[in-house]
Amino acid sequence: MTHFVSLQELASRIPSGAKMAVPADYAGVAMAATRPLIESGTQNLHLVCIPTGGLQVDLLIGAGRVRLLETSAVTLGEAGGAPAFVRAVREGAIEILDATCPAILSGLTAAQKGVPFIPMRGLIGSDLLRVRPDWRVIENPFETGDAIIAIPAIRPDIALFHAAEADREGNVWIGRRRELALMAYAARTSLVTVERIRDTSLLDDEVTAAGVLPALYVGAIAHVPKGASPYGLWGEYPADTAEIARYAEAARSEAGFAAYLDRFLGAPAFA
């Protein structure tokens, strides 16, 4: 059964040491949950970026909340690189599981299907195999001499994301963002912030039904308008690129990051 909770209660459901999947900046980032998550003191997170990370990931790293990062990239897009991530890598402050976008999506697909791994091509000869001993080169059982890579299942404890709409039954409308469905299917539970909650069923509406994540996969929902800001949300509002650029500039130094974080924690939610 899906529970409707406050933003603070939703963040409190993310324990220290959790393996948490978060989406790319275009796919519905639950930015509003970042503040209470940092304030709660949660530590040693294993973040899995689906398939890349951005501002939310960089803030959590800079705040010292991340132990292990599994991703194909962390970037602020047009605002440049992710400063806290770069510092943490250089200083060895976090562990990195370097990946590619297809590998991460394959690992989640394996978990969704309940199988231990998914085979894929395109990685043989890559330097990544030297740093990912868990990616195994195996022989195609149906064709002698044909090597493939076995990508182990990625099973997050939590999928955290933001969406436009939920209904009173706990169903969430994710539209064409199928990576959100993949995250939710692979994870033990999903924690979702939404722009609004409607009284009529999303599944009973022919217009919305095909883009619905059923309540079965949702553990808790918090009603948080503008919950993705300063990132945008498809069909709702654009990204605040100026704010993301301000962060990128400030976070170039540790002192600048600390000042920005103080403002971020103390200020009302971005609008």
Domain limits of the chain?
Answer: 3-99+155-266, 101-152
* Predicted confidence (pLDDT) per residue in 121-155, tens digit: 989 989 999 999 999 999 999 999 999 999 999 99
pTM: 0.94
| Cα distances (angstroms) measured from residue 134 to each of 137, 154, 188, 199 | 9, 12, 22, 46
Residue with tokens 């079965």: 216
Specify the amino acid at residue 246. R
Is a pLDDT exceeding 80 seen at residue 22? yes
| Architecture of the CATH domain 3-99+155-266 | 3-Layer(aba) Sandwich (3.40)
17: left (phi over 0), alpha (psi -120 to 50) or beta: left
Is a pLDDT exceeding 90 seen at residue 267? no
